[in-house]
């Protein structure tokens, strides 16, 4: 796929980037080489390869799911201006 400076300028405008002509020329050649690499990768046979979530087939160490802090809700709500049924009451901000 051929990318010219006009394509790069349109992409830059969408991304709200300001590029001069020299930068657009540089990026057009870089983008063209990236797209060429993608086209090469499309020719690879990947039918027998299973999808992976991570390149390293490693399991994560998980910590025990246990409560480590005290329930201080009553203490925090005692200094709140208004609470009801364990919830904070706040003024209505949207009509």
The CATH number fitting domain 5-42, selected from 2.30.30, 1.10.1740, 1.10.20, 2.60.40: 1.10.20
The tens digit of pLDDT for each residue in 67-95 reads 999 999 999 999 999 999 999 999 999 87
pTM: 0.49
* pLDDT at position 53 over 90: no
Domain ranges of the chain: 5-42
Closest CA to 86 of 74, 70, 68: 74
**Do 6 and 18 meet the contact criterion of CB atoms below 8 Å apart?**
no
């Amino acid at each position: 796929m051929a990318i010219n400076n006009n394509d790069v300028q349109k992409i830059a405008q969408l991304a709200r980037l300001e590029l001069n002509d020299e930068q657009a020329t540089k990026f057009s050649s870089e983008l063209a080489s990236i797209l060429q690499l993608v086209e090469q990768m499309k020719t690879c046979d990947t039918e027998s390869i299973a999808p992976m979530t991570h390149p390293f087939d490693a399991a994560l160490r998980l910590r025990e799911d246990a409560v480590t802090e005290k329930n201080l809700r009553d203490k925090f709500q005692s200094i709140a201006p208004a609470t009801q049924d364990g919830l904070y009451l706040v003024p209505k901000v949207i009509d």
